[in-house]
Amino acid sequence: MNYETLATKIVELVGGADNISGLTHCATRLRFNLKDESKAQTEALKTTPGVLGVAKGGGQYQVIIGNDVEKVYKLVRPFLNGNLENDKDQGEKKGLGSRFIDTISSIFTPVLPAITASGMLKAVLALLVAFKWISAQSQIYQVVNLMADAAFYFLPLLLAISAAKKFRANTYLAVMIGGILLHPTFIQMVMAAKQSGDSIHFGFLPIYPASYASSVVPIILTIWCMSYVEAFAKKITPKMISFFVVPLITVFVTGLIALVAAGPLGFHIGNGLASVVLFLDAHVGWLVPMVLGTVLPLLVMTGTHYGIVPLGPANIMNLGYDTIIGPSNMPSNIAQGGAALAVAVKSKNNDIKQLGFSSGFTAVCGITEPALYGIHLRFKTPLYASMLGGGLGGLFLGLMGVRRYAPGSPGLLTLPVYIGKDGFTNLAYAVIGCVIAFVSAFIASYILFKEEKEESKEVELMQELGEQEKLQKIYAPVTGELIPLTDVSDDTFAQEILGKGIAILPQSSEFVSPIAGKVTMVYETMHAIGLVSNSGAEILIHIGIDTVKLNGKYFTSHIKKGDQVAVGTPLMTVDLAGIKSEGFSTETPIIITNSNDFEEILPTDEKNVAAGQPILKLIK
């Protein structure tokens, strides 16, 4: 995979760097904030090699890459040239719900690695204690435990950093504000006030005696307020003294807001959420895990699951356990893995088998996007099977009151976070719930899955021929609308005099290689290119009809005769509007000039294709 080419293509298809107002990434997705989503070429993106799918939701335009998302993110980021930091409120207007989910997602996504690390350390400790390899009173336990607790205790500082970036406030001042809420002196004042029953005041302003260690909502509210305070301070302060005065005003005013208003408000909101969890746990503990376990794949599709993910760590911080997010998410992930593995077992297509096995194992370990977009949405029935399995597994965990005691990516690797004070009982129920989710999803997916007709035909042809190598694929050299070769306005092509093939009405100026092989010819007028694939297919790409008369005008070549190319290597940049302005058609035939060497040349049934999408199958 050429990640540089993929990054360039993604930026182009989301509307260009100027259309991007925000960019983050999670475990599998690039998460864009676009100024105008209508400029994004969604269908072209979906068929771009290296892109598993596209989702819109939560105020974000999400491009699903898979496990290599960080590599692509690092290559996409330089295209933006600092535009993200200077672009305020220029994107398209979004609803309140979308903006809320976008905000939560943008703030929590960067700190998830720290939370996950803490959860994994807690899981390791739970195993070591459960098997009596170390004592909970030993110094080894205490040292590792304080490492794990660090991310939780100082979570307001971590969230202050990401919230400052989201609200475009000064990061270091934001961390300072978080430090105010966690300062030992303030903690001592709170403890003293609670013991004596006295109150804390700043002049006539009351300061609520709350502890903000491990809290979530207070710091987010505070940094949101800080962004306005800082902006106002910059506005009223002369530039000559702004370096000194702006930080002074920002920290003093925001610090008071945090201690007097935003902090207490966030504290009570957090307690309110904890009360809701306790109520649901006491009265309908089975309902939420069952419902969320069923619908979670749909939430992940749209990215709206990030609106509820923070509830899990928040429950653990406030209550010491989580009975909602973890016990819902884990059976859903396991079920998605089971459904994908069933497809891998049943399919006769080697590509689908490989994708099913790899994405299935990834899903049971906690990352579901490859299975969701590579298998479930493609074939639909595995999606239904995974929803069934997730619902049944969630129902069992809810009925048994299964609790998660530390956060982490919900999957087999983090099962130890279900080890509680009652020994292995809670863990045993968690394992049973996973088995229920996996088995039911696997069986349902295996029964419901049917091979796609085109792929079944391809497999049958390959079996008849006896060798997989006898099938070759030719990929689209340009994004556009496919037309039969017989409909091309030039009889030389329409009558298949030069060979069989297909034609494209291009919608992009960039033409790329449709095969891996070698350039055999580039006409002086650059309107036609000859290539030969490593498997022996000879291809002619003729850009436009009668465009030889333009003598190279509107054409810019990126290759020369003898160059080695891969699928997607840039070949030519063409000014399509210029060609049309001269009265020429841009119909682009793709001809297999050695058609007689192949028993079958099968065109795709698609009407529109993106560059890099298969358009012809050649059978020897």
- Using one digit for the tens of pLDDT, what is the confidence trace for 310-333? 777 777 777 778 888 889 999 999
- Do 443 and 475 share a domain, yes or no? no
* Spatial separation of the C-alpha atoms in residues 94 and 108, rounded to whole Å: 20
Q: Which residue has better confidence, 317 or 607?
A: 607
- pLDDT at residue 447 in the model: 94
* Phi-psi label, residue 380: left if phi above 0, alpha if psi -120 to 50, beta otherwise: left
* Spatial separation of the C-alpha atoms in residues 364 and 371, rounded to whole Å: 10
- Do 174 and 278 share a domain, yes or no? yes
573, 509 Cβ separation under 8 angstroms: yes
pLDDT digits (tens, 9 = 90+) for 165-177: 888 899 999 999 9
pLDDT band for 283, please (50, 70, 90 cuts).
confident
pLDDT at 470 over 90: no
Domain that holds residue 603: 468-619
pLDDT digits (tens, 9 = 90+) for 340-379: 999 999 988 877 888 889 888 988 988 787 788 778 877 8
Q: How far is CA 584 from the centre of its chain?
A: 42
- Do 333 and 222 share a domain, yes or no? no
- pLDDT at residue 246 in the model: 93
Question: What percentage of residues in the chain have a pLDDT greater than 70?
Answer: 89
- For residue 441, the 8-state DSSP code is H
- Tokens matching residue 409: 């990516």
Q: Is residue 115 part of a domain?
A: no
Residue 64 CB partners (closer than 8 Å, separation 6+):
28, 29, 51, 52, 53, 54, 55, 369, 373
The residue written with tokens 């376990």 in the block is: 293
Among 240, 255, 283, the domain-final residue is 283
pLDDT digits (tens, 9 = 90+) for 224-258: 999 999 999 999 999 889 888 999 999 999 999 99
Mean pLDDT (whole number) for 155-181: 92
DSSP string covering 366-423: T--HHHIIIIIHHHSHHHHHHHHHHHHHHHHHHHTT--B-S---SSGGGGGGG-BTTB
Residue 15 CB partners (closer than 8 Å, separation 6+):
34, 35, 36, 39, 40, 41
Least-confidence region, from 59-73, 180-194, 427-441: 59-73
* Spatial separation of the C-alpha atoms in residues 161 and 111, rounded to whole Å: 9
Among 420, 451, 482, the domain-final residue is 451
Beta strands 517-522 and 600-603, pairing class? unpaired
- pLDDT at residue 196 in the model: 86
- Do 310 and 421 share a domain, yes or no? yes
- pLDDT at residue 170 in the model: 92
- pLDDT at residue 454 in the model: 47
pLDDT band for 97, please (50, 70, 90 cuts).
low
- pLDDT at residue 471 in the model: 73
- pLDDT at residue 85 in the model: 45
- Do 477 and 587 share a domain, yes or no? yes
Q: In total, how many domains does the chain have? A: 4
pLDDT at 522 over 60: yes
- Do 533 and 593 share a domain, yes or no? yes
Q: Is residue 404 part of a domain?
A: yes
CATH value at residue 517: 2.70.70.10
- Do 421 and 311 share a domain, yes or no? yes
DSSP string covering 497-526: SS-EEEEEEE-SSEEE-SSSEEEEEE-TTS
Q: For residue 620, how many other CB atoms are within 10 A of its CB?
A: 15
* Spatial separation of the C-alpha atoms in residues 258 and 329, rounded to whole Å: 33
257, 265 Cβ separation under 8 angstroms: no
Q: Is residue 133 part of a domain?
A: no
pLDDT at 334 over 90: yes
Angstrom distances, CA of residue 54 to CA of 93, 123, 343, 373:
20, 33, 22, 9
- Do 426 and 482 share a domain, yes or no? no
- Tokens matching residue 253: 């005013």
Mean pLDDT (whole number) for 410-427: 82
Helix (H, G, I), strand (E, B) or coil at 539: strand
- pLDDT at residue 125 in the model: 84
Among 419, 451, 483, the domain-final residue is 451
598, 572 Cβ separation under 8 angstroms: no
Best mean pLDDT range from 21-35, 167-181, 278-292: 167-181
Q: Is residue 212 part of a domain?
A: yes
Mean pLDDT (whole number) for 542-550: 89
- pLDDT at residue 335 in the model: 95
Mean pLDDT (whole number) for 457-480: 65
CATH value at residue 32: 3.30.1360.60
**Average pLDDT over the chain, rounded to an integer:** 84
Q: Is residue 104 part of a domain?
A: no
pLDDT at 490 over 50: yes
- pLDDT at residue 63 in the model: 87
- Do 80 and 190 share a domain, yes or no? no
270, 318 Cβ separation under 8 angstroms: yes
**Burial classification of residue 95, based on how many CB atoms lie within 10 Å of its CB (0-12 exposed, 13-18 middle, 19 or more buried):** exposed
Strands (E), 58-116: 60-64
- pLDDT at residue 86 in the model: 41
pLDDT band for 394, please (50, 70, 90 cuts).
very high
* Spatial separation of the C-alpha atoms in residues 484 and 489, rounded to whole Å: 11
pLDDT band for 96, please (50, 70, 90 cuts).
low
pLDDT band for 82, please (50, 70, 90 cuts).
low
Largest CA distance in the chain: 97
Q: Is residue 429 part of a domain?
A: yes
pLDDT band for 91, please (50, 70, 90 cuts).
very low
- pLDDT at residue 586 in the model: 93
Would you name the residues annotated as active-site residues? 26, 542
* Spatial separation of the C-alpha atoms in residues 15 and 18, rounded to whole Å: 8
Cα Rg of the chain (Å, integer): 29
pLDDT at 541 over 90: yes
Least-confidence region, from 176-180, 416-420, 450-454: 450-454
47, 609 Cβ separation under 8 angstroms: yes
- pLDDT at residue 340 in the model: 93
Helix (H, G, I), strand (E, B) or coil at 312: helix
- pLDDT at residue 467 in the model: 44
* Spatial separation of the C-alpha atoms in residues 388 and 290, rounded to whole Å: 10
Q: Is residue 78 part of a domain?
A: yes
- Do 178 and 258 share a domain, yes or no? yes
pLDDT at 61 over 80: yes
- Do 421 and 531 share a domain, yes or no? no
329, 432 Cβ separation under 8 angstroms: no
* Spatial separation of the C-alpha atoms in residues 429 and 412, rounded to whole Å: 14
Angle among Cα 508, 513, 515 to the nearest 5 degrees reads 135
* Spatial separation of the C-alpha atoms in residues 191 and 416, rounded to whole Å: 34
- pLDDT at residue 330 in the model: 93
- Do 348 and 305 share a domain, yes or no? yes
Q: Is residue 457 part of a domain?
A: no
- pLDDT at residue 88 in the model: 41
Query: Residue 201: enclosing H or E segment and its boundaries?
Result: strand 200-202
